[in-house]
């Protein structure tokens, strides 16, 4: 394993716990975090001594999404180059989790917003603290779901609920997330990590080959077009990145005021 600045990695036998560690930014993804997360997912996937993985966040949030304050690199047209960041940095995290031949548990300790929601739902089993919530926050800055959210949410919760999350941009709190199927289990805040560790330890002692086969089967049935969907999301995001509504959404976010969208 490599040393990471934005993540912490702990081991308990065959169970590895990966913790997003930018608590001052609510564990929002910047280039460093996304890159280190991708590297860590690859390392854990190929490490035969690791038989199950837990992903969680340090502090008050699981992950608040992309770091809008830090932004994205600017493309030749002067707008954020979201497409390149998604394809080269974010997508390997999501596809890496789905391809990992071992169970991955999300321990959602607080808000899971934007790409943070995508990260949680990319995992095999989602445990949520009672105070946690899931939010497709993209629409609030004039963007559409990415990170596979447009595949994961309808696969778990159905098309109607995915439309509601994508277009209204309202949080789905843990009890409703459990009812909708976004979360597998909800536990008291103070019991989240003990519950996740116990479940991870149980899975780490199980039939790894059978888990991997089940994951491939479920991927094929429910997420067989994930890579095409990720490509579509990246294309749509780049188109939206050039829009006046996106520029207004980012300004409003940074200025902490309601956005005034014009539909262009």
- Read off the pLDDT band of 45 (50, 70, 90): very high
Which pLDDT does position 90 carry in this prediction? 95
Token pair of 173 as six digits: 């709190």
Q: What is the DSSP letter of 114?
A: T
CATH of domain 7-190: 3.90.226.10
Burial pattern 24-37, b for ≥16 Cβ within 10 A else e, equals ebbbbbbbbbbbbb
Rg (CA), the chain: 18
- Read off the pLDDT band of 191 (50, 70, 90): very high
Other Cβ atoms closer than 10 A to 203: 23
> For 198-213, what is the mean pLDDT?
97
Which pLDDT does position 246 carry in this prediction? 94
pLDDT exceeds cutoff 90 at 264: no
Burial pattern 51-77, b for ≥16 Cβ within 10 A else e, equals bbbbbbbbbebbbbbbbbeeebeeeee
pLDDT in tens, 211-258: 999 999 999 999 999 999 999 999 999 999 999 999 999 999 999 999
More confident residue, 121 or 73: 121
pLDDT in tens, 124-182: 999 999 999 999 999 999 999 999 999 999 999 999 999 999 999 999 999 999 999 99
Which pLDDT does position 3 carry in this prediction? 61
Question: Which residues, 6 or more positions from 139, have their beta carbon under 8 angstroms from its beta carbon?
Answer: 166, 167, 168, 169
- Read off the pLDDT band of 259 (50, 70, 90): very high
> Where in the chain does DSSP place strands (E)?
7-12, 15-20, 52-57, 104-108, 111-113, 125-129, 133-135, 172-173, 185-187
Give the residue numbers annotated as catalytic, written as ranges.
91, 146
Q: How many angstroms separate the CA atoms of 35 and 203, rounded?
A: 27
Beta bridge partners of 186: 128
pLDDT exceeds cutoff 70 at 22: yes
Q: How many angstroms separate the CA atoms of 146 and 113, rounded?
A: 11
> For 99-125, what is the mean pLDDT?
98
Which pLDDT does position 2 carry in this prediction? 57
- Read off the pLDDT band of 61 (50, 70, 90): very high
pLDDT in tens, 64-90: 999 988 888 888 888 889 999 999 999
């Amino acid at each position: 394993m490599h040393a990471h600045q934005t993540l912490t990695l702990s081991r308990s036998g065959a169970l590895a716990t990966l913790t997003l560690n930018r608590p001052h930014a609510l564990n929002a993804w910047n280039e460093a975090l996304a890159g280190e997360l991708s590297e860590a997912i690859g390392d854990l996937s190929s490490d035969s001594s690791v038989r199950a993985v837990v992903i969680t966040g340090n502090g008050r949030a699981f992950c608040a999404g992309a770091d809008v304050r830090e932004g994205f690199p600017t493309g030749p047209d002067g707008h954020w180059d979201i497409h390149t960041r998604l394809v080269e940095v974010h997508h390997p995290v999501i596809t890496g989790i789905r391809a990992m031949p071992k169970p991955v548990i999300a321990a959602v300790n607080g808000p899971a917003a934007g790409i943070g929601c995508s990260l949680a739902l990319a995992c095999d089993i989602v445990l949520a603290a009672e105070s946690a919530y899931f939010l497709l926050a993209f629409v609030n800055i004039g963007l559409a779901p990415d990170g596979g959210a447009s595949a994961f949410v309808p696969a778990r919760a159905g098309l109607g609920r995915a439309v509601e999350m994508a277009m209204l941009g309202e949080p789905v709190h843990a009890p409703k997330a459990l009812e909708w199927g976004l979360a597998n289990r909800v536990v008291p805040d103070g019991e989240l990590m003990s519950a996740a560790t116990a479940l991870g330890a149980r899975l780490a002692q199980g039939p790894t080959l059978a888990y991997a086969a089940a994951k491939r089967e479920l991927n094929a049935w429910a997420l067989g077009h994930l890579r095409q969907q990720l490509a579509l999301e990246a294309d749509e995001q780049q188109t939206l990145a050039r829009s006046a509504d996106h520029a207004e959404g980012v300004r409003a976010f940074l200025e902490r005021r309601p956005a005034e969208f014009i539909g262009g």
